[in-house]
Amino acid sequence: MSESAPEPELTYPALPATSWAVLGMLTFGEELSGNDAKKWADWSVGFFYWSPSVSQVYSELKKLESLGLVRSRKIAEAGVRGRRVYAITPDGIAAVQAWSRDAPVEIPVLKHSVLLRIWMGHLSDPERLKELVAAHIDNIDDLRRRAQLHYDHSSREPSWSYPRLSLLWSVRYFEAEIDLARRLLDDIDDAAAGFAAVERTDAAGMPLPVEPGHWRSVEDVVRDVSAHERATGS
């Protein structure tokens, strides 16, 4: 029996993506305080990955400093309380550059609370579900407008070209989410019509399945199809 190939040796330390995000903020040629980094996150990274608290940012910076990936110094300004600013070290640049180039591509984790409530829509009613979706559209449209505003006013610095591209992607993502949500408003009516065919409920009014355990056979079919696709490369 042949032995499996050894795992490739990492060229960067094992850190969570939040640490890499903070390191990335320090690769634009400026020293940043924790408050500065928080503003950076809210301005760009927060639209697609992480919107941290100030305490989270400082926690990351202290950890990165202990690893020798950033350094800090305290500066004093006239009439202003002294503050600590952070800069990336050569080791930090090498690490974040290696992670950016070599880290495996991960599947984004989607946690959609409105869709979770749609999933259990039998506990609500169609009109209430539509109200939830409408509120969701308003929230996402607000994010879209903010991302668009940040994009429109971020062209001065050539070094921001890639962060600006991430803002453009965010605008397009929010537009797509709004489109999906609007289509969902009609889909709710279709789901309600399908649910009306339920014939039996329990004492609490919860629906009883026509074929108890049928979901297990669906799971088996999906597993078999996936195995066939892997085997055939289709």
- Partners of 50 in beta bridges: none
Q: CA-CA distance, 159 to 161, in Å (whole number)? A: 6
**Mean predicted confidence (pLDDT) in 145-173:** 95
- Indicate whether 120 and 226 sit together in one domain: yes
Q: CA-CA distance, 187 to 181, in Å (whole number)? A: 10
Amino acid symbol at 124: S
- Indicate whether 98 and 117 sit together in one domain: no
Give percent above pLDDT 90 in the chain.
75
- Indicate whether 150 and 78 sit together in one domain: no
Amino acid symbol at 57: V
Q: What is the pLDDT of residue 52?
A: 85
- Indicate whether 196 and 120 sit together in one domain: yes
- Indicate whether 68 and 134 sit together in one domain: no
User: The tokens 């320090």 sit on which residue?
Assistant: 26
Three-state SS for 225?
A: helix
- Indicate whether 96 and 122 sit together in one domain: no
Residue 45 belongs to domain spanning: 17-102
Q: CA-CA distance, 223 to 196, in Å (whole number)? A: 30
If one counts the domains in the chain, the total is 2
Tokens for 44, please give them: 């760009």
- Indicate whether 136 and 175 sit together in one domain: yes
- Indicate whether 127 and 183 sit together in one domain: yes
pTM: 0.85
- Indicate whether 77 and 157 sit together in one domain: no
Domain assignment present for 7: no
Is residue 33 within 8 Å of 86, Cβ to Cβ? yes
Alpha helix positions (H), the chain = 17-25, 34-43, 54-66, 90-102, 113-119, 126-152, 161-195, 214-232
pLDDT in tens, 169-223: 999 999 999 999 999 999 999 999 999 999 999 999 999 998 888 878 877 788 8
- Indicate whether 125 and 220 sit together in one domain: yes
